[in-house]
Every structure is written in structure tokens, then in C-alpha cells.
Structure 1
């Protein structure tokens, strides 16, 4: 039995330097009460080295009390994901998951990731009950113009 499947995954050009990301995931299991996230940022050409950023969080705990994790709260607020997603509440998750028309752009990422201009990959791994369930990787370019 499948645990989840992507029913939609698209990236559309929405304007100068902005791309809208839409992801829909159908959940095929009961309520999820244990979820975690691992994110890394790697600069293109340096994939064989340690990531520039590697961060792990207990997603359920983070959304239960954002004050306990300053860095995650900062990134979450700067990226504004809660405005475009239904994963903006604490566990349990007993519904399908969506990220709808999220405006992703290099200028915003440059504010979060102060490593100068360049091409990067934001690698994410999503776990429930410590079992890898989904991998989403986003390649992007930062710039200061």
C-alpha cells in the first residue's frame, strides 16, 4: 500500500525572477502525529562537500511552539510558507497536503541564505515515524540585482 503520492507537482514562471511552486500530496494513512524534516543547502559545483546549511527539526514540535526554535521560525516567516500551505498547523495531519502557487524567487532566498550570488540546491527530506516518505529538491539561483 502506498503511504502517499504526489497528485500535482509543477513550477510555473510567474514574473521576473519568480516561479510559482504547486505541490499536492494525497495521504493514504491515518492521522500523522510524528513528522520531521531535514533540509540542506548545497552550492552547485560543491555537491561532494559538506552542505552550507543542514538543519533537522521535529515538524510537529516546531508548529506546536515556534518560539522554541528561533532559526526555523525565522526561515518559516521569511519564506512565508504558511500563507500558501495547509501544513501550517501542528500535528495530527489527517488530510492531504498542499503548497499552492508559492512564489519562489532568488532574491528572497538570498535573504535567508547569505552565501552570495550563485546556483544552489535546497534538498528536503520529509519523515513520518522516522521513515523517509518524501524528497523534494529545489534548484535555484540567488542574485542581488
Structure 2
């Protein structure tokens, strides 16, 4: 039997439009050798948000990061309004973050967006047990768009070995 293990290697968060939001914190924390988690908080200055889209691109490192398997865009308000009828791939990736974030309700959003203590073990389970991915270095690039303009971005780098 072969076992894989996912580990975070880096996290980058930014808001390209300063008037829209400010990243308060975005970090990886290693509690011990086996427990590492990711936390981020973005302060939203233009509330309420009533319409947005999310683009998720999964990239794998070959000779630089190249597109791998998934790159899709979802209407965020429509998805969160009825996630049971949503695309199974977008639902699969949303469930990586849903238990650890406060953005899992219907629009409008009138509060800061928070992802708190997303453990590497959760990502490990979803990437190696639930739907096994091949070993390698990955980048999850998540971009929030409003009227087609990028307003927020999280890049999660990890290694599956």
C-alpha cells in the first residue's frame, strides 16, 4: 500500500485593488512536526458584496508551474445559494475550505473574510485519500473577481509526496 502526504510549502495573499480590501494577515504556522495550518484574514472596505465570481486554477510544477487538470470559474453568489446543485468539481474544492472559513453563506457579504486554521491534514485527506492526486508540487491559485476585475488572490503552495 502506498501512502501520500500533503504539506504546505508557502502561502501568498494579496488584494490588487487597495480601495477594496486589505490583507490583515496571511501565514502558515507550524505547531510541531506533524501539525501545520494556514490562516488568513482580509478586511473588506466596500460592503456589501452582492455579486462575485471565483476562479480556481490548479497548477503543477514541472519546469515552472503549469496548468494541471482544473481551471474553472464559478458565480460565487449562485454557488453559495444552492451548492447542492453546483458543479461537483467546484463543490469538491469548496469543501477544502468551507469548515474553516466564514464565507459559506448566501450573498450579500458585509464582513471580513476569514480562513482560520486550515490544517494540512485536511488537504492531505482530500488530495490523497478522497480523490488521489499524483505526487508533486502544486499551486492552488484562487482569485475573487468582481465585474471581471481581480479583487483578491490566495496562492497556496504545497507538496504531495
Answer whether contact 2:22 2:44 (CA < 8 A) is retained.
yes
1:110 corresponds in structure 2 to 128
Q: Is there any run of 5+ residues in structure 1 with no aligned partner, and where?
A: none
1:16-95 equivalences under 5 Å are 16-47=33-64, 49-69=66-86, 70-77=88-95, 79=96, 81-95=97-111
- Distance change >3 Å, CA 49–CA 82, structure 1 → 2: closer
For the 8 Å contact 1:75–1:112, the answer to whether it is kept is no
Change (3 A) 1:71 1:48: closer
* Root-mean-square deviation (Å): 2.1
Aligned equivalent of 1:130, options 136, 145, 148:
148
TM-score after normalising by structure 2: 0.77
Instruction: Decide which moves more: 66-75 or 106-115.
Output: 106-115
For structure 2, the 5+ residue unaligned runs are 1-17
Residues 41-88 of structure 1, C-alpha deviations (whole Å, 9 max, x = no match)? 1111254644321121111111100122122223333x2x22211101
Whole-Å separation in 2 of the counterparts to 1:101 and 1:48 = 26
Say if 1:20 and 1:102, in contact at 8 Å, map to a contact too: yes
